Structure 1
Amino acid sequence: MSPWRDRLRTAMPRLAVIAHDLAMVWVVWQGLHRLRFGVLPNPPHLPLWSTEVVLVLAAQGLVFWWVGLYRGLWRFASVPDLWNIFKACALGLFAIVLGLFLYNRLDLVSRSVLVLYPLVLMGLLGAPRLLYRAFKDSRMERSSKASVRILILGAGHAGEALVRDLRRFGTYQPVGFLDDAARLRGTKLQGVPVLGRVRDLAEIARETAAKLLVIAMPSADASALQTVVAACERTGLPFRMVPRLQDVLEGRSLPGELKEVAIEDLLGRKPVLPDWKAIRGWLGARSVLVTGAGGSIGSELCRQCARHGARRIALVEIDELALTTTEAALRRDFPDLEYIPVLGDCGDPAVIAHALRLAEPEAVFHAAAYKQVPLLEAQLREAVRNNVLSTHTVATACRDAGVGTFVLISTDKAVDPVNVLGATKRLAEMACQALADQRSTRFVTVRFGNVLDSAGSVVPLFREQIRNGGPVTVTDPEVTRFFMTIPEACQLILQASAIGTHEAIYTLDMGEAVPIRLLAEQMIRLAGKQPGRDIAVVYTGLRPGEKLHETLFHADERYRPTGHPKILQAEPREVAAQVIEHAIAQLREASARYDREALAEQLRAAVPEFQPVGQHPPMQASGTVVAFPARHARKI
């Protein structure tokens, strides 16, 4: 078939709609005039076609096209389409009056006809559209009698929109809503009844023979969601949820997609609302460099920088596959930005100097680090080399190159460290502090706790163990940790960086500590199994370098609020720059010899508060002790 015939076939439905609408204009104009003049003893002659009628059709047709009436589809006609039709009819009346006034001073045009014209025309244009949609919906509903029966939890806007989407697919049949609002009891949304409350879910699911449950409460807080999920779990039926708007906007979920309930949805953290204006004002049109760009935090930092205004992003990464994957994802999602991939170890002075020359960054985010606590206890040399010496190398290169801002990604384990990870991160903080100079690079340190779903973290480990049938291994039934999602952590890193203090340590408010035992049990339930029955939970004991509870605050770092409620600024403890520089030099020598004993001795000397697990700290001298309110674990 020739191309013009293909185009004609494609255009035929739209041409038919245009013909229908113009025919309705002719019917309304002629019909109203004949009714108006038909009551007169000597009615004037009204020809079926005249120059006046042609002007009416032309004026109204142009308005229809200008308003965009033919960009929609009858199949999905709705209230916004009716409003669009009303606007087109009202504006069309204005165009008709203007055209006929210029043509014949509105001769033989009834004023009552002009009043009724837009209302009657709106009815004749809107009714066929709505009837057509109702007809298609009824056919779809009849064809879905053997489809999956769904109960929807939440009779709000999200639930109503979900029903419309499900009916279009035709493979799902909504059989009812559940909602705790008393005013909705016995009502219907889109013809689907509100059958009861969420606590009655198990009974209603049996009565309706539901096969799938959908949680349509995208704005529910974690406490409410925990209650709903518990009710879903008691039914034994599979369940999904409508994604939050923020997840859709940030590309983590697709519009209309039903996602599984993730563990981060149940952690009890309220959504963080960054000050995007401040972030974009600081980051906009800047060149940035990210070390460890292929890691969990590094790759998300790159995405956040790309999304919020950076013009150039340099990616420094030692893992070639991670570098390739991250760069490809950025180029796909943000094709208009400039990317500079650099493969190499950021602790190599030549590599970081090369990257700085290529990118000429105004901000550097140092996310490269080793972070596995038990592993690093036996790998002291690599922990010191990567976490301390590489940080010093990158920070020094940034200062010498005149980079505006250097951001060190640190950890809550640097507060009163009891393991090698915490001690090396604390020394990295001190090294950056020793380099700080009011006239040069601004050094910013951001601390936070465990990050959900980051590489090597407990959540993917539990997920893999559950997938393999268990057991799920937990170190201790009492162990707790602070958690934050990867996007949330990166947003707060950018927020802290944008605050503007020349030398600062920022601690992110991690909310309440989460018992790891309850985290494991909830993940097992989310997988549709029961802990202890389908999947065993085994306690293995604390691993080397681990402690039961982490701390977020140090007593000597006086904390004060910032412009963001989730970010606290600590007053850095005094460090002697010459002492730190000497310690770094000694560590470099010991690292070159692979002298682990000397490394351990130097690390303890440089970080006096470092007390490995199992060793008792020395008696504290008398003085002022700053107490912070205890945080209580929250059941998830």
Structure 2
Amino acid sequence: MEHMVDSAGRRPDPVFPDTVSEQSRSAFQDYLDVQRRTILVPEDDLRRRIAGRTVVVTGAAGCIGRALLAELRAYSPARVVGVGLEEQPRLPDADEHHTLDIRDGAGLTALLRRIGPDLVFHLAAQRDPGLAERAAAHTISTNVLGTAHVIEACVAAGTGQLVYASTGKALRPYTSDVYAQSKRTGEWLVVDAAERGVLPGAAVRFTHVVDNAIVLGRFRDWCRRGEPLRLHGRDTSFYVQSARESARLLLAASLAPLDDRFRLYAIHDLGWPVSLMDLALGAVAEQGRPVPVEVVGYEPGYEEQPYPGLYDPRYSGEVSPLINALEAPTVRPGPGGDVDCAGGRARLTPELRAGVDHLTRLCAHPTDENWIRGVFDALAWGLLDHAITDAEPESVRRIVRLTEPHRERMPAEHLRIDDLFRKHAARLGPPAKAA
């Protein structure tokens, strides 16, 4: 049976659990089974990197933080320290935990100086895209200012390496969505520190983590309350990974050479994307009560369609779907063979550094949220311009050719992105002819 959904203002009939198809039930179970997935990492190399070292994990009490703590124990660190907002969380795999907000730069610096970590995994973040649109200043101050504080604290403490947890949403060349852009900006802060030679740093990109899925939690809550399940779109699909895969990806990134080159890591094979409709129908069957399923459109913080130049077909299936067309030419196999590693980027220009400093000052004492968002957006466009300037010229030209057939149907934001690519392509001119 096909379950009809309605976006025209009419409330659809409830979906009854016994009418959910076997296909949707099977897809839902496959989604849950992703929690058992893992990836290969070089065990001996990790033991040599971590054994006897002091490791700090920010956001340690979160789902991925706990999974990382559990994985770390296999490699005999001397001391594992958690940092986060939680008061006395039960963390059996950490030697100690300190309650601290990463927006407290002075407190974080003092703490890391006392601990003297060899390696820091930075996971602490505001991770809800919808909340980010309603609380932009809080999200930017946590994800951008907080990351800047982590970097500063690591430098002050003489930390040997930083591994930053980013998001697959950061593969967008530009976005007005606050959460995605805040994590993308965080990547650039790590880039800048690494490329200036002050802190060896790497980043990883996570996609939808099944173990702590916001959307599944909502579906289950709505089912229990008998409320309609509200979907962005009937054909929406997305990639998924497990908390353990995420933890081991972080460990793989910790094997990056300790030099002044930034590296970005992502899982190479994420399997087939999951249908949001199957997830909703599976939740109805799981909870065992009839509820309507409605298509309500995309809420702020979620992108309806990707920029047409996001991926280059030349690399389709060859690199992780969390790596974009500008990054794909630099990809090499990462440690263990299950991850891809994209190469370095240029450090921030003085103008971009000044933009970050301006944003930092505003976030330290937030008053006008619209002003903060305006400064943040200007910085985001500057980062895109910088990324295109630093990219391989042929990649820029190819994106322009790929997007040409789509320009008439592009939304305004994508047209603005595309116009910037075209400006750079015109500056580059045609490729040189072979001699």
In 1: Cα distance, 2:347 partner to 2:54 partner: 31
In 1: Cα distance, 2:183 partner to 2:152 partner: 16
Partner of residue 411 from structure 1, selected from 167, 180, 192: 167
CA contact (8 A) 2:60 2:123 kept: yes
Q: Does 1:508 align with 2:267?
A: yes
CA deviations over 1:113-144 (Å, ceiling 9, x no partner): xxxxxxxxxxxxxxxxxxxxxxxxxxxxxxxx
Q: CA deviation at 1:518?
A: 1.5
Q: Does 1:493 align with 2:250?
A: yes
In 2: Cα distance, 1:491 partner to 1:469 partner: 38
CA contact (8 A) 1:547 1:613 kept: no
SS in 2 for 1:409: strand
Q: Does 1:600 align with 2:373?
A: yes
Q: Does 1:434 align with 2:187?
A: no
Q: Does 1:554 align with 2:324?
A: yes
Match of residue 76 from structure 2: 309
Q: CA deviation at 1:495?
A: 1.5
SS in 1 for 2:125: coil
Amino acid at match of 2:80: I
Q: Pick the structure with greater CA Rg.
A: 1
CA deviations over 1:336-370 (Å, ceiling 9, x no partner): x7x23211112212221232133221100111111
SS in 2 for 1:487: helix
SS in 1 for 2:97: strand
Amino acid at match of 1:362: D
In 1: Cα distance, 2:250 partner to 2:211 partner: 18
Amino acid at match of 2:162: F
Amino acid at match of 1:411: T
Match of residue 413 from structure 2: 615
**Structure 1 unaligned runs (5+)?**
1-228, 235-259, 625-636
Q: Which contiguous aligned blocks of 4+ residues in structure 1 show a shift greater than 6 angstroms?
A: 231-234, 609-613
Match of residue 432 from structure 2: none
Match of residue 201 from structure 2: 443
In 1: Cα distance, 2:96 partner to 2:129 partner: 32
CA contact (8 A) 1:316 1:355 kept: no
Match of residue 295 from structure 2: 539
CA contact (8 A) 2:161 2:258 kept: no
In 2: Cα distance, 1:460 partner to 1:467 partner: 11
CA contact (8 A) 2:53 2:79 kept: yes
CA deviations over 1:409-433 (Å, ceiling 9, x no partner): 0011111242111111111111121
Identity of paired residues, percent?
25
Amino acid at match of 1:565: G
In 1: Cα distance, 2:333 partner to 2:207 partner: 19
Q: Does 1:572 align with 2:344?
A: yes
Match of residue 458 from structure 1: 215
Match of residue 134 from structure 2: 378
Cα 1:501–1:573, aligned 2, differ >3 Å: closer, same or farther? Answer: same
In 1: Cα distance, 2:34 partner to 2:189 partner: 38
1:197-596 aligned at under 5 Å gives the runs 230=22, 263-265=31-33, 271-320=38-87, 324-327=88-91, 330=92, 334=93, 339-416=95-172, 417-418=174-175, 419-437=177-195, 440-454=198-212, 457-500=214-257, 502=259, 503-509=262-268, 510-527=270-287, 534-548=290-304, 552-557=322-327, 558=329, 559-591=331-363, 592-596=365-369
Amino acid at match of 1:273: L
SS in 2 for 1:436: helix
CA contact (8 A) 1:450 1:481 kept: yes
CA contact (8 A) 1:293 1:326 kept: no
CA contact (8 A) 1:471 1:537 kept: yes
Higher relative contact order (CA 8 A, sep 6+): 2
Normalising by structure 1, we get a TM-score of 0.51
Q: CA deviation at 1:497?
A: 1.5
Q: CA deviation at 1:577?
A: 4.4
Q: CA deviation at 1:272?
A: 2.3
In 1: Cα distance, 2:194 partner to 2:139 partner: 23
CA contact (8 A) 1:284 1:309 kept: yes
CA contact (8 A) 2:31 2:274 kept: no
Normalising by structure 2, we get a TM-score of 0.73
Amino acid at match of 2:207: G
1:34-49 aligned at under 5 Å gives the runs none
In 2: Cα distance, 1:600 partner to 1:438 partner: 27
Cα 1:385–1:562, aligned 2, differ >3 Å: closer, same or farther? Answer: same
Q: Report the aligned-residue RMSD.
A: 3.1
SS in 2 for 1:507: strand
Q: CA deviation at 1:527?
A: 4.5
Match of residue 205 from structure 1: none
**Structure 2 unaligned runs (5+)?**
1-20, 307-320, 386-409, 429-435
